[in-house]
Amino acid sequence: MSTDKRRGTIEAHLVEQQYYKPPDEFIEQANIKDPNIYERFEKFPEGFEEYANLLDWYKTWDQVFDGSKPPFYKWFVGGKINASYNCVDRHLSTRKNQTALLWEGEDGEQKNITYQDLYREINEISAALKSVGIKENDIVTLHLPMVLELPMTMLACSRIGAPHSEVFAGFSATALSDRVRDANSEYIVTIDGYYRRGEFLNHIEKTDAALEGMDERPTVLVWTRHEKPMVDIKEEYILLKDLQKEHKRELVDPVERNAEDILFLMYTSGTTGKPKGCQHRTGGYLAYATGTSKYILDIKPEDTYWCAADIGWITGHSYIVYGPLALGTTSVMYEGTPDYPHKGRIWEIAEKYSVDIFHTSPTAVRMFMKWGEEHLEGYDFSFRLMTSVGEPIQPEAWIWYYEYIGKKEAVIVDTWWQTETGGHMITNLPGISDMKPGSAGLAAPGIKPMIVDGEGKEIDREVGKAGNLIITRPWPGMLQTVYGDDERFISTYWEEFSDTNSSEWEKWSYKAGDGAIQTSDKYFRILGRLDDVMNVAGHRLGTMELESAIVEVKSVAEAAVASRKHPEKGEVPDAYVVLREGNKASDEIRKCINESVEEGIGKFARPANVIFVEDLPKTRSGKIMRRLLENISNDEELGDTTTLSDPTIAEKIRIQVHGEGGK
């Protein structure tokens, strides 16, 4: 895809793909096989009541949707509900001894938590949290890896009505402290450490460092990976395991939350340096996550379902914790990485637990494909349904996934959605529509996506005609706002394609920030981000965030980050760096840059290349033309250089990177 944002034109050169039919056996047993479902959801807003009716409410809503103050919509107004009750308590009468969470440690250790166990644990943890003063509406920051304590703490928070804000464990101390501050969070829940590739990682040191510059220090509650701490724990921190013991067998009534009360915050990268706290509501979010888990992931209570994502991102919130548990299924969690201690680890776990539904990302599929089919050999597993999420999947990778992992028997749902949308937005209903490799598929029931040009005009449904992806009708899973910043909510998502003076919701459209095509069969193909947000191995990274971390290095004068296509990770960041006078490019500075990114964001964000240049290509008004750097990184023809203040700069950098022979 090549884009020219100023002109709003997007070129795409894609080849149409053939359809793949879901097998009859799948269709016969699918949760949804009646195509009338689309008609039912056409009725707005009543259609979405079908999702809300999957939940238990203390009080049902008086009004399905209140659109009177766009874009601050309200869903299931007047309803009262508790998410933890819906994910745990309500299953006790039918399946108390069924496994709720099946946890596999990196070293093969296994823990099965039944719904009854989960109920006990969550009650005790709720009591422990309350005992340190956590009250309804207090935001609790979690910085936890893939341990059972993560979903348990989330569910304890939602039980007592304290919104959680989980920060992915790979995020650094600085990233953690930024999020704690932004949320005015007075509590952090973390852990002493966890395992990665056989090594025990000290995790609590990130909290130690995050607290250093803070005047008002949050209360720190610490889980331990083993019975006793493996690293030094500061005296003022509270050991949660001990505290939980003090509350053994205590029961805490779930709080009746208003449907519109906050369930959680999930920070995500945007086009500015500051991450945005996407604020999700209780009733609408839970209804949407549960409904899509049932209809799109085809989850049934008797299934063993494995979403191999991290709960630290939205995928894990919606599709490891809230959706699957609200449906009363068995959800698998894995602590480690797919290649440790060997490259067959994923298939070993799939066989061990006889997983029915498998959920992963295109990055993982490309990696499995690169490792080769031989790593699948000797494992006996068979999936009924598989998911792809987080980035566009190339048809070749899709077909490999279908043939080798799905064994031509599993249905694939490619699900397009975002942290902001709470749940799936574009994807096929697996028992109804044919699959098309590379296409996320049709709009989900009740969802109205549209492809528009820069002026907001709908683009013809044709291969090769791409545009901005917008959503023209509200849905219950959508974020309520950017935490503490309503203006940013409007300017980021609504301003561009809405009539912001209008009080009619019909005049407002949500901007996704992605480029996409809709073909005549109404299938959508997602091309990727149009803004300065990259998608590295399915993780969203703002180029501005990276650049701010790089210019922290004293010898750096200026930096621009460009996205380079990568065969496995999808995209990787290339950093173009100008040094201050008197400094020479060196491995030492390169190391400092990498360290600064690790400290500012996390190891996963490290630039793939650091390229020292004399100057950056800029417009006459001084704006850095990242698009040209992207052309250079990808060895593409340089786009329009006429607006540059010095047109020779881009050419010089191109020669520096590719030599005279480059494009």
- Give least dist CB 477 to ligand PRX, A: 11
Burial (CB < 10 A; 0-12, 13-18, 19+), residue 662, is middle
Q: Are 327 and 299 in contact (CB under 8 A)?
A: yes
Nearer to ligand PRX, 428 or 594 (CB): 428
- Give least dist CB 423 to ligand PRX, A: 9
Binding site for ligand PRX (CB under 6 A): 268, 313-315, 389-392, 414-419, 440, 512-514, 526, 528-529, 535, 540
> What secondary structure does DSSP assign to 199-254, as a single string?
EEEE-HHHHHHHHHT-SSPPEEEEE-SSSS-SS---TTSEEHHHHHHHTTT---PP
Nearer to ligand PRX, 293 or 315 (CB): 315
- Give least dist CB 621 to ligand PRX, A: 28
**Termini Cα distance of the chain:** 17
Distance CA 393, CA 266 (A): 25
Which amino acid, 412? I
Nearer to ligand PRX, 267 or 353 (CB): 267
- Give least dist CB 306 to ligand PRX, A: 17
Nearer to ligand PRX, 478 or 611 (CB): 478
Burial (CB < 10 A; 0-12, 13-18, 19+), residue 393, is buried
- Give least dist CB 419 to ligand PRX, A: 3
b/e per residue 539-557 (b: at least 16 CB within 10 A): bbbbbbbbbbbbbbbebbe
Q: Which two tokens stand for residue 607?
A: 């630039």
- Give least dist CB 618 to ligand PRX, A: 27
**Helix residue ranges, H only, 521-561:** 543-551
Q: How many helices (H) and strands (E) does the chain have?
A: 21, 32
- Give least dist CB 109 to ligand PRX, A: 28
Distance CA 187, CA 172 (A): 17
Nearer to ligand PRX, 394 or 583 (CB): 394
Nearer to ligand PRX, 47 or 362 (CB): 362
Nearer to ligand PRX, 77 or 399 (CB): 399
Nearer to ligand PRX, 221 or 526 (CB): 526
Nearer to ligand PRX, 513 or 600 (CB): 513
What is the largest distance, in Å, between two alpha-carbon atoms of the chain? Answer: 73
**316 φ, ψ to 5°?**
-70, -35
b/e per residue 208-247 (b: at least 16 CB within 10 A): bebbeeeeeebbbbbbbbeeebbeebeeebbbbeebbeeb
Nearer to ligand PRX, 162 or 265 (CB): 265
- Give least dist CB 435 to ligand PRX, A: 13
Please enumerate in sequence order all residues whose Cβ is within 8 A of that of 130, keeping only pairs 6 or more positions apart, or say none.
Answer: 160, 252
Nearer to ligand PRX, 360 or 535 (CB): 535
- Give least dist CB 440 to ligand PRX, A: 5
SS3 content of the chain, % helix, strand, coil (to 5): 30, 25, 45
- Give least dist CB 8 to ligand PRX, A: 18
Nearer to ligand PRX, 390 or 430 (CB): 390
Q: Which two tokens stand for residue 511?
A: 């901007």
Q: Are 482 and 265 in contact (CB under 8 A)?
A: no
- Give least dist CB 392 to ligand PRX, A: 4
- Give least dist CB 414 to ligand PRX, A: 5
C-alpha of 355 from chain center: 22
Distance CA 137, CA 133 (A): 12
| Preceding amide of 71 cis, omega within 30 | yes
| Preceding amide of 341 cis, omega within 30 | yes
Instruction: Report which of 311, 294, 312, 304 is spatially closest to residue 332, judged by C-alpha positions.
Output: 304
- Give least dist CB 244 to ligand PRX, A: 32
- Give least dist CB 528 to ligand PRX, A: 6
Nearer to ligand PRX, 206 or 525 (CB): 525
Helix (H, G, I), strand (E, B) or coil at 5: coil
Nearer to ligand PRX, 467 or 513 (CB): 513
